Homo-oligomer: A and B are copies of this chain.
Amino acid sequence: MPSPLPAADRLVCAVMAGGSGTRFWPLSRHHEPKQLLKFFGEKSLLRITMDRVAELCPPQRQLCVTAQRLVPAVQADLPDLGSNQIIGEPVARNTAPCMAIAAIVAQQMRPDAILVLLPADHFVADAARFRAALQVAAKQADTGKIVTLGVTPTAPETGYGYIEVGASLSKAEDGLFAVQRFVEKPDLATAQEYLVSGQYLWNAGVFVLRADTALRALDAHVPAVTSAFSEIRLSGLRPGSQAFAAALQVAFERSPSISIDYGVMEHESDISVVRLDAGWSDVGTWQSVVGLKPASSANFLHGPVIAQDCHDSVLISQGPLLAAVGLRHTAVVVTPDATLVLPLERSQDVRQIVAELQKLGRTDLL
């Protein structure tokens, strides 16, 4: 007899929405980073991420951890969340402090909370499968394990971290495995071996674990992080108050800057992974965006665009008419004050443009 799933109302989804996303310039800007962009119609990536999990984890059990400067925009984007559900990081300290504050606040909501930590800016084609994977993960997390999601690779990607899978921990359809090891971004030859082997999954940056497990793991491996947050943890201060904001300022300033992967995952020996086959993308560059076009369309189009004989291109305008002829595998992104054109295989070079604009003092365009 299968063991029952943990009560759904124990799930607290905390979305990490602090990224700056210069790789999507000129669409992404300092005050409108990637997670707030509306690539897919009327909703931002952040809003789509929240809506994707709402069936499992309705708005009253959602948290959003973002940069302080983005709080007003996030609040406008997520009107169903109260101001006590949106936490503005006073300074950027990578993701481990984010996990700490999310776990503390989740425990305030209920002490036996199971935390689902999600990046705000990924694409998932099949939301139902994604939720099913989260449910498998939550059940495993309820045993005290740290659980991550691993995406079945569809290409020898060199831009992702990988997870080597170990023993199967469930019946096949649940796709639950022990994590053998985490691997950093590989070179192309290694990525091709990984792809062929069937033993590696992409690290999707999704973590599912009980709030107490999270704090225990942080205490064990990055005590400087949890000690920075100890005042908030002990005081019971809740988001939305001035006292909380003041304590949060101190906590973030004191905390080291370290990621969940480096700070926690690499030091844990008993991590589980749930295999995810749901059409996932980290939407990392313009090149990855073209893969998200509808199958019926030759290009990824958004805004007023006339495309004649164009294929496999990203053609986006935020206002001015964009007319393109005869393009292949090219990105053209038009905004009222800046236009970007590059072959998609040069997508990484957006960073060079951003660096050049910084050098030129054109912060008005960043």
Q: Spell out A's residues near B (CB within 8 Å).
A: 26, 306, 308-309, 317, 320-327, 330, 332, 334-343, 346, 349-350, 352-353, 356-357, 362, 365
Please state the number of chain copies in the assembly: 2
Residue of B nearest to A325 (CB): B342
Q: Is the CB of A326 within 8 A of B349?
A: yes
Q: Is the CB of B341 within 8 A of A322?
A: yes
Q: A326-B349, A346-B326, A349-B326 are in contact. Are A321 and B339 (CB under 8 A)?
A: yes
Contact of A306 among B309, B324, B336, B356 (CB under 8 A): B356
Give A11 to B210 CA distance when docked, in angstroms: 93
Q: A306-B357, A357-B306 are in contact. Are A352 and B339 (CB under 8 A)?
A: no
Q: Is the CB of B306 within 8 A of A323?
A: no
Q: Is the CB of B323 within 8 A of A341?
A: yes
Q: Is the CB of B325 within 8 A of A352?
A: yes
Q: Is the CB of B352 within 8 A of A321?
A: no
Give A330 to B327 CA distance when docked, in angstroms: 10
**List of B residues within 8 angstroms of A330 by Cβ:** 341
Q: Is the CB of A339 within 8 A of B349?
A: no
**List of B residues within 8 angstroms of A365 by Cβ:** 321
Residue of B nearest to A26 (CB): B323
The distance from the CB of A300 to the nearest CB of chain B, in whole angstroms, is 15
Residue of B nearest to A334 (CB): B339
Give A356 to B322 CA distance when docked, in angstroms: 12
Q: A323-B26, A346-B326, A362-B321 are in contact. Are A308 and B353 (CB under 8 A)?
A: yes
**List of B residues within 8 angstroms of A322 by Cβ:** 338-339, 341
Besides A323-B340, A332-B339, 17 more A-B contacts (Cβ < 8 Å) are A306-B353, A317-B339, A321-B337, A321-B339, A321-B357, A321-B362, A323-B356, A324-B341, A325-B340, A325-B349, A325-B352, A325-B353, A327-B341, A327-B342, A330-B341, A334-B334, A334-B339
Residue of B nearest to A354 (CB): B323
The distance from the CB of A342 to the nearest CB of chain B, in whole angstroms, is 4
Contact of A326 among B337, B338, B343 (CB under 8 A): B343
Q: Is the CB of A320 within 8 A of B342?
A: no
**List of B residues within 8 angstroms of A356 by Cβ:** 306, 308, 323
Contact of A338 among B320, B341, B350 (CB under 8 A): B320
Between-chain CB contacts (< 8 Å), 24 pairs: A306-B353, A306-B357, A308-B349, A320-B320, A320-B334, A320-B336, A321-B339, A322-B338, A322-B339, A322-B341, A323-B338, A323-B340, A323-B341, A324-B340, A324-B341, A324-B342, A325-B343, A325-B346, A325-B350, A326-B349, A327-B341, A332-B332, A332-B341, A334-B334
Give A365 to B321 CA distance when docked, in angstroms: 8
Residue of B nearest to A331 (CB): B325
Give A326 to B341 CA distance when docked, in angstroms: 9
- Which of A323, A349, A353, A362: most chain B Cβ within 10 A? A323
Give A341 to B365 CA distance when docked, in angstroms: 21
**List of B residues within 8 angstroms of A336 by Cβ:** 320, 336
**List of B residues within 8 angstroms of A308 by Cβ:** 349, 352-353, 356
